[in-house]
Structure 1
Amino acid sequence: MKRVWVLQHASVETLGIIAEALESVGATPEYVPTFGGAEVPADMGDAVGLIAMGGPMGVYEENRYPFLSDEMRLMRQAVEAGKPVLGVCLGSQLLAGALGAPVTKGEQPEIGWFPVTLTDAAQADPLWSNAPSSFNGLLWHGDLFDLPKDAVSLASTELVTPQAFRYGSSAYGFLFHMEYTEEMIRGMVQTFPEELTAAGVDSAEILEGIQTHLTALNSLGRTVFERWAKLLG
């Protein structure tokens, strides 16, 4: 069995369509719901990869959420061992932090559907080659990270650079959400209404994007996630 650790930070923040990519290569996800008190694995063990999902906490809140330090330790170990790592939203911020980059609260939250523009480097990236140079992505974050030393920036929005990066050959961080299903988006709107209010975002705008943007975004996501899954061996 090819096991992949999945660090989970909120009940609604599951793998989404990433689960399909893992299944396509015969990999089995094993959730570690740290938000519910589950202990972070002491080491990667026989796991072939590591995925960290989104959540409402901040990397700089380690005193409040001590498990975040343990997660970054596990991420560093995975990277050093050459095992594929994928971080989404909070997961990307944790990966950046694990690699020594500052993670800070942004001046304003970036929540909603925004054009995401790929960098020239993304066009030559194993996961992103032949992808559209720009696409409508779903963003739901308030924190930012600097590009880790020796990492490659892969995407940006008008408000935030970088939106995605690669470190080495198999560690990736994406601030935007391509993994969300319709059910997950509706769940986010219901679970975190105060975040929408604080950002001045109408939930209707988020839900309207399900009809106009989600099919194309999931199609792109399936390609990217399947390519990442193939790195698991």
Structure 2
Amino acid sequence: MTGKKGLIIRHVPHEGIAGFREPVESAGYVLTRIDVEDPAFGTVDLTEPDLLIMMGGPMGVYEQDRHPWIGCQLRRLARRLAADRPTLGVCFGAQMMAAAMGSPVYPGPAKEVGFHALDFVDAASPLRHLAGVDVLHWHGDTFDLPEGVELLASTPAYRHQAFRRGPNILALQFHAEMGLDPRFEAWIEQWPEALAEVGSSADAMRGRHAEHGPAAVVAGRRMIAEWLAGLTS
């Protein structure tokens, strides 16, 4: 089937769909994108697209006083999730999904920044492709697991790295889409304090990106392709 509509919600310009674009388009989705700062964002029916993809951002779900669009997005996202419409959230997008499903989102114990493997991956889920693969982590917030979901991945620092609810709802705390996208340089330039907090540096992160990024994207694309093939609506 072709001509299915996919909508990307972008929270900041340098956090796009990146490596996930290929499997999504190969699955027959025609992608459009809207930024949360677009004046039209508040009028978009988030239940309408066949696939909704929400990417990352440096803000916290709890910062609604600084970012009024968060509350607006959460209300519309909750309606979509209640209707079990296919939805993918990455990092901040995953945190938004947890919040829209009624779970608190809050600062974690420390920044988790860099390329490293998940220490638990559900082998019966599409995340099986990520087992043993160093993927990018870049966050400092976490969330409680919403009711009725399955935990799919963990790291020692953050147990709640991914969850799904049935075949249509998938939330990923980490960035398996990143590894080949030149916008990664903007991440390094804009968040040097995150690198310092984990004892890394810009040059060290560039080196890890060059070493591990390509394999991470290959695995991430396989994961997304398998998830899309299993959607039921």
- Normalising by the residue count of structure 2, what TM-score does the alignment of the two structures yield? 0.90
**1:174 Cα deviation from its structure 2 partner:** 0.7
Q: Is the 8 A contact 2:115 2:209 kept in 1?
A: no
* Residues paired across the two proteins, number: 229
Q: Is the 8 A contact 1:49 1:78 kept in 2?
A: no
Per-residue Cα deviation, 1:35-91 (whole angstroms, up to 9, x for no partner):
455524442354101111000110001121111112222222222222111000100
Per-residue Cα deviation, 1:108-160 (whole angstroms, up to 9, x for no partner):
111111221234xx2112x234x353321211101111111111111111111
Higher deviation after alignment, 199-208 or 58-67: 199-208
Cα distance in 2, alignment partners of residues 118 and 167 from structure 1: 18
Per-residue Cα deviation, 1:151-191 (whole angstroms, up to 9, x for no partner):
11111111111111112321111111011124132221123
State the identity as a percent: 31
Cα distance in 2, alignment partners of residues 232 and 210 from structure 1: 35
Aligned: 1:189 with 2:185: no
Cα distance in 1, alignment partners of residues 204 and 148 from structure 2: 37
Q: Kindly report the root-mean-square deviation, in angstroms, between the aligned alpha carbons of the 2 structures.
A: 2.0
Instruction: Point out where structure 1 has 5 or more consecutive residues left out of the alignment.
Output: none
Partner of 1:137: 135
Instruction: Point out where structure 2 has 5 or more consecutive residues left out of the alignment.
Output: none
Cα distance in 1, alignment partners of residues 79 and 171 from structure 2: 16
Cα distance in 2, alignment partners of residues 132 and 221 from structure 1: 7
- Normalising by the residue count of structure 1, what TM-score does the alignment of the two structures yield? 0.90
Q: Is the 8 A contact 2:42 2:69 kept in 1?
A: yes
Q: Is the 8 A contact 1:50 1:75 kept in 2?
A: no
Residues 84, 213 of structure 1: alpha-carbon distance in 2 compared, 3 angstrom cutoff: same
Matches within 5 A, 1:32-181: 32-35=34-37, 37-44=39-46, 46-119=48-121, 122-125=122-125, 127-129=126-128, 131=129, 133-180=131-178, 181=180
Cα distance in 2, alignment partners of residues 208 and 18 from structure 1: 22
